[in-house]
Amino acid sequence: MRFICLALFVLLCGTANAQLLFKNVSVVDVEKKEINRGLYVLVVDGRIKLVSHELNTDIPPGTTSIDGTGKFLIPGLADGHVHFFQNGGIHTRPDVIDLRKSRPYSEELEWTYQQMEDQLRRYLSAGITSVIDVGSNFRLLQLRDSIQAKTSSPLIRMTGPLLTTYIPPAFKDLKDMDVPFQLMTDENKVRQMVEEQVSRKADFIKIWFIIDEKDAEADARKKLPLVKAVIDEAHKNQLRVAVHATERIAAQLAVESGADYLVHSVEDEVVSDEFVKLLQKNKTALCPTLVVMANYITSLGDNYRFSTAELNLANPFTVGSIIDFPFPDTATGKVYITAMNRSEEIIKESKTDSIRRRNMKKLFDAGVTIVTGTDAGNIGTQHASSYFAELQAMQRARLIPMEILQASTINPAKALGQEKEWGSIAPGKIANMVMLKRNPFDDLYNWSSIELVINKGVAISPDTLIQQTPEQLVQMQLNAYNAHDLDAFLVPYAEDVELYEYPSKLLSKGKEQMRKDYIFITQTPKLYCRIQKREIKDNTVTDHEEVTFGGAKPVYANATYIIENGKISKVYFKQ
């Protein structure tokens, strides 16, 4: 009989020693790019013990059996390029747009730390069981150690601060534990920097190889001894090195010096056959990050349009900050909106994007290890939800789902030299997997048909992972209202939701009636609700709203939301 009672699984707070047996399941072999049907998969003590057509081993007492008939087991997905000192919102990079007068960066950074566990749950709910932070700080390394053992956290691999040839002025006055950049000045100093990261148990080292002079090659060669010293010292300590290098000459010199992982595509030219052979020879992996720059331009140009899936998955407060732009500083915002919408800026990004995609495809076809990664945390590139936009961009670059799945599972593990530990479904590996209802080779859309996430050997229903607070639920529906997305707008509401005119006049009841009543949000041009003040008490949130639409005068009202059982159950309106 098919096992359907997910409540019997060890969820979230359970032990990582749960024993699982999948029966008659189709297992995706991402290395051979094939599907093996009708297999048994046994998980014991957080590791995969058996993948076979025959159940030829003893089954531990208390093992939970799961019928996998018609289902597909894939390795857990991995995002090979994220930054947890950034949150994806409009305030997160003061070196790009300086909004510190309206929100001090120290306050922004503290909020970002507090949201890390929430962000990790969002990744896991999307089937992303591994995240690779390619530039953080020492405080985040401490948080990693306290968080990643939890069943609700993906596997975390993280560097310390980026070792860089340039520090943006906005980051120069931070406390030592919060510093995301360390300036490379001489070879002895950079070796000490590497040793400090080793002592703090960084998983690998990251170099920000920034070229900021007109003669790119001369500048790159001038800085190269520092890059070489970092790579040499890291390799002495058995740590791999990731390098940010978007110019071909910088990428070439980094790889020649022993870089293991290029975390962006070359953007200034289509790479030569010689460059391809260099990466092949050195077995250097590359993460193309195809969407992050376009997200900057559309966000700062006030043109970013969130999909329904993004509105449901991403942290609602960072989403809200992008939707609200040019608030909170409309004067500064208008300068950016004008600049980002200039035709020359759009044409430039279009050409650069074409180079990125061509280079990625050329390298992939040559057998270079290509890694799926988003650069999540940058302005407009949300943690977790940006992943699927990156997958779609890879598909537009003419990779098929089977190839993208390999880039999203085993290849990130290879980039860090950890492919024997995770990244595929094989005996001895960490039991990080996703059970899908549909074939992942047929369509990228099928990757979202998640029935179970298996994280560190524990089976989790994905809809139990994100634990929205009352304020998050209210913010979610506000974001969707302002995005004119009716489907996303209704998600935070209970099926039997009641809407009242304060104090007690019932206006409507039930989500289906609400869908009819709120169809106007998809039909009213320039409809926008701005919160002037928000009050929160326990499970009650009251928003003081200003609603504008077209050229009409603003309408002012209060809306009080009552949250019960994780949904908005009642709303009281008062003008």
Quickly list DSSP for 383-404: TTTHHHHHHHHHHHTT--HHHH
Percent of the chain with pLDDT over 90: 94
Tokens 């304020």 found at: 471
Rounded to whole angstroms, how far apart are CA atoms 167 and 149?
33
In the chain, the N- to C-terminal Cα span, in Å, equals 56
Is the Cα torsion angle 292, 297, 298, 302 positive or negative in sign? positive
DSSP characters over 273-301: HHHHHHHHHHT-EE----SHHHHHHHHHT
**Closest CA relative to residue 392, chosen from 338, 344, 448:** 448
Examine the pLDDT at 9 and tell me if it is beyond 50. Answer: no
Other residues' Cβ atoms within 10 Å of the Cβ of residue 432: 28
Split at pLDDT 50, 70, 90, the class of 497 is very high
CB atoms within 10 A of CB 535: 11
One-letter amino acid of 537: K
Tokens 């880039």 correspond to 407
pLDDT band at 408 (very low <50, low <70, confident <90, very high): very high
Question: Among the listed ranges 2-6, 21-25, 316-320, 457-461, which one has the minimum average pLDDT value?
Answer: 2-6
Structural tokens at position 204: 């690998």
Q: How high is the pLDDT of residue 5?
A: 36
> Alpha-carbon distance 406 to 395, whole Å?
13
Give the helix ranges, DSSP H, for 292-370.
Answer: 292-300, 308-313, 316-324, 330-340, 343-365
- SS3 annotation, 545-572: EEEECCCCCCEEEEEEEEEECCEEEEEE
Place of tokens 């046994």: 42
Query: Is the predicted pLDDT of residue 475 greater than 80, yes or no?
Result: yes
pLDDT digits (tens, 9 = 90+) for 104-134: 999 999 999 999 999 999 999 999 999 999 9
Residue 13 has pLDDT above 70, yes or no: no
Nearest to 409 by CA among 422, 396, 427, 421: 422
Task: Give the torsion through C-alpha atoms of 179, 181, 185, 187, to 10 deg.
Answer: 100
CB 560 within 8 A of CB 574: yes
Phi-psi region of 229 (alpha: psi -120 to 50; beta: other; left: phi over 0): alpha
Those residues whose C-beta lies under 8 Å from the C-beta of residue 113, and which sit 6 or more positions away, are 139, 140, 143
Amino acid at position 471, single letter: E
User: What's the average model confidence in pLDDT over 210-239?
Assistant: 97
What SS3 state is found at 176? helix
Tokens of residue 24, six digits: 């008659």
Cβ-count burial 119-143 (b if 16+ within 10 Å, e if not): bbbbbbbbbbbbbbbbbbbbbbbeb
For 203-274, strand residue ranges (E) read 205-208, 241-244, 261-262
Query: Nearest to residue 432, comparing CAs of 19, 68, 73, 148?
Result: 73
pLDDT tens for 86-96 read: 999 999 999 99
User: Confidence band (pLDDT; 50, 70, 90) for 327?
Assistant: very high
Contact 59, 42 (CB under 8 A): yes
Mean pLDDT of 21-41: 98
Whether residue 281 has pLDDT greater than 90: yes
Report the C-alpha gap between 368 and 359 in whole angstroms.
11
Both tokens of residue 508? 């409507």
The token pair at 397 is: 């670059």
What average pLDDT is seen over the chain?
95
Give every strand in the sheet of 528-537, ordered side by side. Answer: 505-509, 493-501, 567-574, 555-564, 540-548, 528-537
Question: Is residue 478 within 8 Å of 543, Cβ to Cβ?
Answer: yes
Which strands form 128-133's sheet, in the order they lie side by side?
Answer: 77-82, 128-133, 155-158
Q: What is the pLDDT of residue 3?
A: 31
Looking at the predicted structure, is the pLDDT value of residue 501 above 50?
Answer: yes
Are the C-beta atoms of residues 377 and 84 closer than 8 Å to each other?
Answer: yes
pLDDT in tens, 418-435: 999 999 999 999 999 999
pLDDT in tens, 333-390: 999 999 999 999 999 999 999 999 999 999 999 999 999 999 999 999 999 999 999 9
286 DSSP β-pair partners: 262, 370
pLDDT exceeds 60 at position 70: yes
Which of 240, 294, 239 has its CA nearest to residue 265? 294
12 pLDDT tier (thresholds 50, 70, 90): very low
Give 233: exposed, middle or buried? Use CB within 10 Å, 0-12, 13-18, 19+.
buried
The residues with which 458 forms a beta bridge, in sequence order, are: 455
pLDDT confidence of residue 17: 53
Question: For residues 114 and 192, is the Cβ–Cβ distance under 8 A?
Answer: no
Spatial neighbors of 300 by CB under 8 A, at least 6 apart, are: 96, 97, 325, 336, 337, 339, 340, 379, 380
Q: Which amino acid is at 453?
A: V
- The CA distance from 313 to 472, in Å, is 11
* Mean pLDDT within 221-236: 98
152-175 confidence digits (pLDDT tens): 999 999 999 999 999 999 998 899
Q: Which domains does the chain have, with CATH numbers?
A: 6-74+423-464 (2.30.40.10), 77-414 (3.20.20.140), 470-574 (3.10.450.50)
Looking at residue 420, the DSSP 8-state letter turns out to be T
pLDDT of the residue at 18: 75
* Coil, helix or strand at residue 380: coil
If one counts every other C-beta atom within 10 angstroms of the C-beta of residue 3, the result is 16
Closest CA relative to residue 69, chosen from 22, 30, 129:
22
What's the CA gap between 147 and 144, in Å, rounded? 5
**CB–CB of 163/228 below 8 Å?**
no
pLDDT of 51 strictly over 70: yes
Percentage of the chain lying above the pLDDT 70 cut:
97
Distance CA 188, CA 194 (A): 10
Please determine, for residue 176, whether its predicted confidence score (pLDDT) is greater than 50. yes
Take residue 324 and report the two structure tokens written for it: 């609200």
Calculate mean pLDDT across residues 483-506: 98
Is 70 exceeded by the pLDDT of residue 1? Answer: no
8 pLDDT more than 50: no
User: Token pair of 559, please?
Assistant: 């809306």
pLDDT per position as a tens digit, 506-562:
999 999 999 999 999 999 999 999 999 999 999 999 999 999 998 789 999 999 999
